[in-house]
Chains A and B, each alone.
Chain A
């Protein structure tokens, strides 16, 4: 797919008029999100909207049910660690009947990484949130099954969040076998 030239210029010469996002799906989105504080942003390919944490799940529900939008397919749910600026939870939405895309972002502060679960809106969010929770330390309240997805279940990894930038890239201190108390010398009989 060639890059999306969505109308805004990369070259800055004269001050340009403020972007009204009229040529995207923003007007419909804005109309559907009632009583939600939302801010749009352009990006390569899709439109991004930023919704504050307290309203995000409510907003997602509205986006799913809105007649003009019908975002019934949750493509992807993940998080981005912006270090000092907090953690962004990102939802990529798609509408099967209307063939439109939307990205929804919400920002969580580093000391308060809590947001409501989206699995009541789409079942697809279930496993995706489990993975985001264990990788970034985000707590999704009211999640039906808050177990780790990819991390081992026999070792306690509840304070290790691998995808955070603060987690080191090199060796991890958790070894298998020796630190788990498996004693090679104890003979178990034949």
Chain B
């Protein structure tokens, strides 16, 4: 069954011409407004040029002209699938510069919400990835079933299904509902079942394995060189998880290990994310055990934040990788410079390297496996 690698694919006797295919910006499978031009020879991709910027809204400039509280809304919109994580980086940067001490209860709740957001974001990935691979609809609906439970909970807490604006510099905007712990338990129960469903549907499926194993491989050295982060990096074997290596909030009190995989191919990226959902469920349970009553904002919280001069690069582990906020303040109530370090942008740089030499159908799957959300790439 194994065929020896035959002569390299060369245009030998025929004069063949390479075909330039434009994928996007409107296309059912690019996850957002993204365009890439593929140069293909038969079915093999010889070159790939990505074009981004369709969703660029100038979030950084907007934040420079709005004060530190208004910026939270813009951070939500740079990564709408994991908005809590986006807000977290920003809010922690402000707290670091202003030297605000956040009460314990607020920190634990922040952790729970960020991990819940990780769960919903990874389910979104599983759904969209299933569609890319070709299972029509079934994983998508499973994913949406799980996301609905999480998003309903977020709506009860912050009033919004997707753009929460719930974190504030110093803590949270308001107290969570009284049945918070029970609701989170319900969500976790449903999420556990969702993980089992996905595992049963896709992980051992012969065709899925044939489509994804060995496809889009990137080695650990290349991944570090090109600046990848998050599950895509961990799937190549690098145990770099910011919650473990540079712990923030109270992650150093929790018991977990970064999930890695060996191969660095599409299947491993899928598997790492699937297992991270289970890990997040476990982390939330540990947080719920440690959650105590208490205030959610410090007592002396100024209404208008004026930060001293300084700068900070605050990074957290968002579901897609390292989401960093580089904030420079020169006094006053607005940041002088706000740079959003986007995990998806850095991960997307690796697309060309992973896809060249593979088949066209695989290029689509590789793009899906990096799990980008264009609003973060373009800001």
Does A touch B (CB under 8 Å) in the complex? yes
Verify A45–B51 contact, CB threshold 8 A.
Answer: no
Verify A43–B312 contact, CB threshold 8 A.
Answer: yes
Verify B227–A73 contact, CB threshold 8 A.
Answer: yes
Residue interface bits B337-352, CB-to-A below 8 A is 1, else 0: 1010100011011000
A107 within 8 A of B: no
**Chain A: CB-nearest residue to B53:** A150
Whole-angstrom CA separation of A81 from B348 in the bound complex: 27
Verify A96–B226 contact, CB threshold 8 A.
Answer: no
- CB-contact partner of A45 in B96, B225, B238, B341, under 8 A: B96
Stretch in A32-40, A119-127, A176-184 touching the partner: A119-127
Whole-angstrom CA separation of A1 from B252 in the bound complex: 10
B359 within 8 A of A: no
Verify B310–A72 contact, CB threshold 8 A.
Answer: no
Residue interface bits B314-345, CB-to-A below 8 A is 1, else 0: 11000000101010100000001101010001
A127-B349, A150-B56, A152-B53 as given contacts; A3 in contact with B225, CB under 8 Å: no
Stretch in B128-136, B181-189, B203-211, B242-250 touching the partner: B242-250
Of residues 29 to 86 in B, which have CB atoms within 8 Å of A's CB atoms?
51-53, 56, 58, 60-61, 65
Interface of B is mostly: mixed
A72-B224, A96-B238, A124-B227 as given contacts; A80 in contact with B58, CB under 8 Å: no
Determine how close the nearest CB of chain A comes to the CB of B243; give it in whole angstroms. Answer: 11
Verify A151–B99 contact, CB threshold 8 A.
Answer: no
Chain A hits for B348, CB < 8 A:
127
Determine how close the nearest CB of chain B comes to the CB of A187; give it in whole angstroms. Answer: 25
- CB-contact partner of A96 in B61, B101, B224, under 8 A: B224
Chain A hits for B365, CB < 8 A:
none
Chain B hits for A58, CB < 8 A:
none
A99 within 8 A of B: yes
A44-B97, A46-B313 as given contacts; A122 in contact with B227, CB under 8 Å: yes
Verify A124–B326 contact, CB threshold 8 A.
Answer: no
**Chain A: CB-nearest residue to B324:** A76
Chain A hits for B324, CB < 8 A:
75-76, 92
A73-B227, A126-B349 as given contacts; A162 in contact with B61, CB under 8 Å: yes
Chain A hits for B249, CB < 8 A:
1
B371 within 8 A of A: no
Verify A72–B96 contact, CB threshold 8 A.
Answer: no
Determine how close the nearest CB of chain B comes to the CB of A95; give it in whole angstroms. Answer: 10
Verify A99–B311 contact, CB threshold 8 A.
Answer: no
Chain A hits for B261, CB < 8 A:
none
Verify A75–B322 contact, CB threshold 8 A.
Answer: yes
Whole-angstrom CA separation of A32 from B28 in the bound complex: 50
Determine how close the nearest CB of chain B comes to the CB of A110; give it in whole angstroms. Answer: 16
A78 within 8 A of B: yes
**Chain A: CB-nearest residue to B226:** A123
Chain B hits for A148, CB < 8 A:
53
Whole-angstrom CA separation of A146 from B336 in the bound complex: 27
Determine how close the nearest CB of chain B comes to the CB of A141; give it in whole angstroms. Answer: 21
B146 within 8 A of A: no
Verify A1–B227 contact, CB threshold 8 A.
Answer: no
Chain A hits for B65, CB < 8 A:
169
Verify A149–B53 contact, CB threshold 8 A.
Answer: yes
Chain B hits for A74, CB < 8 A:
227
**Chain B: CB-nearest residue to A172:** B58
Chain A hits for B58, CB < 8 A:
162
Residue interface bits B288-315, CB-to-A below 8 A is 1, else 0: 0000000000000000000000111111
**Chain A: CB-nearest residue to B101:** A2
Whole-angstrom CA separation of A190 from B114 in the bound complex: 54
Chain A hits for B246, CB < 8 A:
1, 99, 101
- CB-contact partner of B326 in A90, A99, A149, A169, under 8 A: A90
Verify A76–B92 contact, CB threshold 8 A.
Answer: no
Residue interface bits A42-71, CB-to-B below 8 A is 1, else 0: 011110100000000000000000000000
Verify B53–A151 contact, CB threshold 8 A.
Answer: yes
B residues adjacent to A (C-beta < 8 A)? 51-53, 56, 58, 60-61, 65, 92, 95-97, 99, 101, 224-227, 238, 240, 245-249, 310-315, 322, 324, 326, 328, 336-337, 339, 341, 345-346, 348-349, 378
Given contacts A122-B227, A123-B227, A124-B226, 8 further A-B contacts (CB under 8 A): A43-B311, A44-B312, A73-B224, A150-B53, A150-B56, A151-B53, A151-B56, A169-B65
The 4 A-B residue pairs with the shortest CB-CB distance, nearest first, are A124-B227, A150-B53, A1-B248, A44-B312
